[in-house]
Amino acid sequence: MGSTFETIRRLGPAAFVLKAIIAAIVADALLLGFILLRRAYRARFFAKRDARVFEFRRNWEALISGEIPYETWRKKPFDLRIVETIVLDAFEAAGREESARLLNFLRTSGLIDRLIFDAQRLQGWRRRRALVSLGRTRALEGISALAEGLRDRDAETRLAALRGLARTACPEAAEEILLWVGETGLTVPPLPLQSALIQCCAERPQVLLPYLHHAEGPLREVLGRVLGEVATPSLGMDLLEFAVDNLDELRAAAARALSHVQPGLALDALSELARDPIWFVRLRAVVSLGRLNHQGAVPLLLHGLTDSNRLVRLRAAEGLVGIRSEMVSTFEEVVATRDLYGLHAYLTALENAGLRRKLETELETTDSINENGRKLLLAVLKTGTLAVEQPEPSELASAETSFRS
Amino acid sequence: MIRLLEIVNQVLFFYYLTSNLAYLITLIIALKTSAAHQRRLESNRLGWIKESPLAPPVTILAPAYNEEKSIRVSVRNLLELDYSELEVIVINDGSTDRTLEMMQEEFRLRRVRAVYIAQAASATVRGLYRSDLDPRLLVVDKEPGGSKADAVNAGLNAASSPYVCVVDADSVLERDALLRIMAPVLADPKRVVCVGGIVRVLNGSEIEGGQLRRVRLPRKALQAIQVVEYLRAFLIGRESWAQGNMLMIISGAFGIFRTDLLRAVGGYRSNAIGEDFDMVARLHRHLLERGIDYQIQFVPDPVCWTEVPSDMQSLGRQRARWQKGLLDVLWRNRDMLFRPRYGRIGSFALPYLWIFELLAPVIELGGIVTIILAAWLGVLSQEFFLQFLLFGYAFATVISIGSVLQEELTYKRYNDWQDVARLVSYCFLEHFPYRQLHMIWRLLGLVQYLRGDMAWKQVKRKGLQSAS
């Protein structure tokens, strides 16, 4: 040993490097040792856990009915964690009746109180985990603890609370979220907020309206998008009000939501929105027109086929194909627009829906058009180009005239 | 002369020390961030993303060239991915085998007139086909373009979703791959413009019906060493660079991009050697020049598995090509260096790549030459040589074992004790002679580039069918 130290001493200035070498070797050994120890520990841990999980699952009914006293597992953190995991996983696949039974078990066993306590008192990732777990139970008594999480200083915790509230999917949770965004504005990314509100407002979209009237800026956009997703026919008149809003996002949301309204009420508003200067408003409008599945939407969708935006054209074409109407006359009108991009979009939609062959057959057998018109339309259908003989104006001008009228 | 050799040796030593220190820092960052990532995943369950009505549609772009052995399995695998709004575009890049016929038989393809707008440069498209069995599948049959970039561009022109996911047709994606890679986009869609996924080594693993059944370490040493390399590159390198929003590479085997941005930069550069690296560099440039607040993120979850070369020749070709690609991109973007407008990319990421990646083979092999020269001249300090060797070796193994530890702490996909023991042993064995060989391949890549040799040399692969 003495000679080794002597060598190090003689190295002089290089001693630092030698120390570094030794440190690196020690680090190697420590890393390896850690990997080995961790593997050994985990192997034992998982073996033990698997055995307990098996045992709990075997006695599951007795466990949740209370036949097995709760104290037997509640006092052991290892067992408590396993039971909690099994219950929360069971919630994901449970129907209404089973969920109620599981919730009852959580309440009587005191697990829900523990989750609420953890969601309120813990910090960092433990709190986040508790918040999400609490949300997964869909227990109404957990909403206030989740709402507290929304007001945490840490953004990740706020997100976890939001996700937890989203899981409860009830209007009470929506109220809490809306109250919070009303107080603080957008302090989380918009998408998780939208997602949470969509889930919570689906049952009662009316809760959004007062907040939407008072919200400003980006928050108004977010709420508008949510409205677009959750709107129901019961919101009819309110939606018409938003269709002339200054905010593009809100007009788009109204356009989207109008597909749920009676066609008689929606068509006029949608015809305006389909001419909106903003492309995504037009897009929403043509999608809604397609969903209305009403003959009155056809001229508007034909106009959409000639839109400057590719997505609008595509959706208009899909809408046209989706409307159960006389295919030959619709195709005639598409050709009459003399718009190659629109024609391509229509043919794409037709082929995607597997209706191309049907149209061809109808064209071959119909007697609603003359022979020249039939040949022309068949040629357009087969070649996908408009560079064929110009049709008789009387035959193919109907689309434009009907749209203008 | 002697003095000069001494100075050179000292410089080399400090270069080595600095590069290893940089690796050590990235290891520490990666260990910290992946732990945080694991915790974050706990509060963001993937199933919720799947159920969300707000998950934006995604188009998968899978270029295929002579993949007749594996194309059916690969496409089926892509169609089975967990994602609500999915479109799969397979680009048959002028295959000379039966790739297209195989797909026609398997998916009942019929010729369609889908919308194709040639915004990104690509070779002529011969036809578009849609599946009768699954309308989400579109096949673009095109003339050979000679590069993956050209094929991806063709797919980009036909894509109809706001996000495209570029994959290799011969890679295996895990079912939740898209959900995982889309999680950062869903969390912050305004800022996150693209996300890179981790690519892991498929060789040796068991596959059934195009799905990974059991992860095993390859038997051949050459492949197993690549596992260590991939772990180090992805779990340590990319993870930590992404933390500083300085990720410069999103692997061509698995990455998601905003479609409008790819179109805005004109799609992939057809003659780029490393089209993935080139694209990310151009995206950085595009966004920084416009002062857009953006993020390029990385998801370390093991979701994409790819076959690595199994023979020396193929591996050498692959590494030489990577090095050519690196030089190609760095040279094209040299004007970004140290310009304040390009922020940390210009002042940190690119200089790092120049010094520690591009010049590494020159400096490292130069170091070996000077040591030999010094020994030949009889002026080699044995002390210095020993220090150099020992320190370099011990430090490099710390990094490699650190990447294995990272895998152990987080994803732990190698469950077999034997596999882990072998993996650790390769952390010690890869430094001689593999490392030196690797440097020679990379140096050859630089020489080839400087000589103007840009030819694509085929890398031998067995294909999924044989793997299963």
> Using the beta-carbon criterion (under 8 Å), do B48 and A163 form an inter-chain contact?
yes
Has residue A390 got a pLDDT over 60?
Answer: no
Of A18, A27, A156, the CB nearest to B398: A27
Cα end-to-end span (Å), chain A: 104
Is A59's pLDDT higher than 80? yes
Mutate to test the interface with B, among A7, A17, A137, A380 (most CBs of B within 10 A): A17
Best mutation target, B43, B48, B408, to test chain A (most A CBs within 10 A): B43
Residue B171 has pLDDT above 70, yes or no: yes
Q: Is B395 on the interface with A (CB under 8 A)?
A: yes
How far are the Cα atoms of A102, A129, A169, B20 from residue A143, in angstroms, in the given order?
Answer: 18, 15, 11, 50
Q: Whose CA is closest to B110, among A214, A72, A356?
A: A356
| Cα–Cα dist A9/B382, whole Å | 16
Q: What are the CA-CA distances from residue A100 to residues A22, A105, A133, B113 (Å)?
A: 62, 9, 16, 52
Say if B398 is an interface residue toward chain A (CB within 8 Å).
yes
For residue B267, give both structure tokens. Answer: 């799609």
* Per-residue pLDDT at B459: 63
Least confident among A11-15, A184-188, A296-300, B89-93: A11-15
Most A-contacting residue of B10, B113, B387 (CB-CB within 10 A), to test interface: B113
Query: Shortest CB distance from B391 goes to which of A20, A38, A348?
Result: A20
Task: To the nearest 10°, report the CA torsion of A62, A67, A72, A77.
Answer: 50
- Which domains, from first to last, does chain A contain? 236-292 (1.25.10.10), 297-405 (no CATH)
Residue A362 distance to chain B (closest CA, Å): 19
Q: What integer is the mean pLDDT of B289-301?
A: 93
Nearest to A17 among B45, B52, B391 (CB): B391
- B124 has a pLDDT exceeding 90: yes
| Residues A229-253 as b or e (16 or more Cβ within 10 Å = b) | bbbeeebbebbbebbebebbbbbbb
CA-based nearest distance B392→chain A, Å: 8
Radius of gyration of chain B (CA): 22
Tokens representing B19? 């590069």
pLDDT band at A392 (very low <50, low <70, confident <90, very high): very low
Of A60-69, A102-111, A130-139, B4-13, the range with the lowest mean pLDDT is B4-13
Separation of alpha carbons A274 and A304, rounded Å: 7
Quick check: A25 and B394 CB within 8 A? yes
For residue A167, the chain B residues in CB contact (below 8 A) are 48
* HEC string for B69-121: CCHHHHHHHHHCCCCCCEEEEEEEECCCCCHHHHHHHHHCEEEECCCCCCCCC
pLDDT number for residue A152: 93
Residue A15 pLDDT: 66
Helix A77-93 vs helix A111-121: crossing angle, to nearest 10: 100
Q: Which residue of B has its CA nearest to A192?
A: B187
Burial tier of B232 (Cβ tally within 10 Å: 0-12, 13-18, 19+)? buried
Please report the number of interchain residue pairs, chain A to chain B, with beta-carbon separation below 8 angstroms.
116
User: Please, what is the end-to-end C-alpha distance for chain B in angstroms?
Assistant: 59
- Angle between helix axes A124-137 and A96-109 (nearest 10 degrees) is 130
Is B43's CB within 8 Å of A166's CB?
Answer: no
Q: What is the pLDDT of residues A322-380, one digit of tens each?
A: 887 788 888 999 999 888 888 988 988 888 888 888 888 888 888 888 888 888 888 88
Query: Which residue from A237, A233, A211, A236 is spatially nearest to A224, judged by alpha carbons?
Result: A211
Nearest CA to CA, how far is A405 from chain B (Å)? 30
Closest by Cβ to B390, choosing from A21, A156, A345: A21
Any residues with CB less than 8 A from the CB of B88 and at least 6 apart, and which? Answer: B59, B60, B62, B75, B78, B79, B136, B137, B138
A156 contact residues in B (CB cutoff 8 A): 40, 43
Question: What count of Cα atoms within 13 Å lies in the side-chain half-sphere of residue B118?
Answer: 8
- Token pair recorded at residue A297: 């939407």
Instruction: Say yes or no: B184 contacts chain A, CB-CB below 8 A.
Output: no
Q: What's the average model confidence in pLDDT over B9-37?
A: 85
Task: Name beta bridge partners: B61.
Answer: B89, B166
The contacts of residue A276 (CB under 8 Å, 6+ apart) are: A251, A255, A282, A285
CA distances from B67 to A19, B18, B95, B155, B169 (A): 53, 43, 8, 17, 8
B27-58 pLDDT, tens digit each:
899 988 888 888 777 766 677 777 777 788 99
C-alpha span between B413 and B417 (Å, rounded)? 11
CA distance B420 to B422: 5
**Buried b or exposed e, range A288-322, using 16+ CB within 10 angstroms:** bbbbbebebbbbbbbbbbbbebebbbbbbbbbbbb
Nearest CA in chain A to B185: A191
> pTM for the whole thing?
0.78
State mean pLDDT over A207-224: 88
Q: How far apart are CA B31 and CA B37, in angstroms?
A: 10
Residues of chain B with Cβ-Cβ distance to A189 below 8 Å are 187-190
A327 contacts A346 by C-beta, under 8 angstroms: no
**In terms of CA atoms, which chain B residue is nearest residue A351?**
B112
According to DSSP, residue B340 is labeled G
What pLDDT sits at residue B464? 55
Which DSSP symbol is given to A274?
T
Cα A86 to chain centroid distance, Å, stands at: 27
- Yes or no, beta carbons of B390 and A160 under 8 Å apart: no
Sequence-distant (6+) residues with CB within 8 A of B393 are B431
Residues of A with Cβ-Cβ distance to B53 under 8 angstroms: 195, 198, 229
Q: What is the pLDDT of residue A14?
A: 60
Helices A171-184, A155-168: axis angle to 10 degrees equals: 150
pLDDT of residue A147: 95
Q: What is chain B's mean pLDDT, rounded?
A: 88
Q: Render pLDDT for B71-90 as a digit per residue (tens, 0 to 9).
A: 998 899 899 999 988 999 99
Q: If you average pLDDT over residues B382-388, what whole number do you get?
A: 72
Residue to test with chain B: of A125, A150, A310, A381, most B Cβ within 10 A: A125
Give the B window 190-209 contacts with A, CB below 8 Å: 190
* pLDDT tens-digit map of A130-167: 999 999 998 999 999 999 999 999 988 999 999 999 98
In chain A, residues with a C-beta closer than 8 Å to the C-beta of B391 are 17, 20-21, 24
> Residue B437 has what pLDDT?
93
Bridge partners of B60, per DSSP, are: B88, B165
Residue A136, C-beta contacts closer than 8 angstroms, at least 6 positions apart:
A88, A91, A92, A164, A167
Whole-angstrom distance, CA of residue B228 vs CA of residue B427 = 7
- What are the domain boundaries of chain B? 1-43+171-468
Element (H, E) at B139: strand B137-142
Nearest chain A residue to B157 by CA distance is A310
Closest-CA distance, B301 to chain A, in angstroms, reads 19
In chain B, whose CA is at the least distance from the CA of A30?
A: B398
Facing residue for B404 by CB, picked from A35, A156, A311: A35
Query: Per mean pLDDT, which range of A13-22, A271-280, B101-110 is the poorest?
Result: A13-22
* SS3 assignment for B36-71: HHHHHHHCCCHHHHHHCCCCCCEEEEEEECCCCCCH
How far, in Å, are A341, A364, A366, A368 from residue A373 at the CA level? 21, 11, 11, 10
Interface membership of B352 toward A (CB under 8 Å)? no
Given the DSSP bridges, would you call strands B211-214 and B206-208 parallel, antiparallel or unpaired?
antiparallel
For A163-206, where are the E strands, in sequence order?
Answer: none
The alpha carbon of residue B345 is apart from the nearest alpha carbon of chain A, in Å, by: 25
Task: HSE, CB side, 13 Å, CA atoms: give it for residue B127.
Answer: 8
| Chain B interface disruption, residue of A348, A359, A360, most B CBs within 10 A | A348
- Residue B147 in tokens: 């590069």
Residue A205 DSSP code? G
Looking at beta carbons, which residues of chain A come within 8 Å of B401?
28, 31-32, 35
Assess B43–A contact: CB distance below 8 Å, yes or no. Answer: yes
User: Which tokens sit at B140?
Assistant: 């673009």
Interface test with B, best of A351, A360, A380 (most B CBs within 10 A): A351
SS3 content of chain B, % helix, strand, coil (to 5): 55, 15, 30
pLDDT of residue A12: 56
Q: DSSP class of residue B436?
A: H
pLDDT of B111 strictly over 90: no
Token pair recorded at residue B380: 């080699």
pLDDT at A6: 56
The pLDDT value recorded for residue A401 is 37
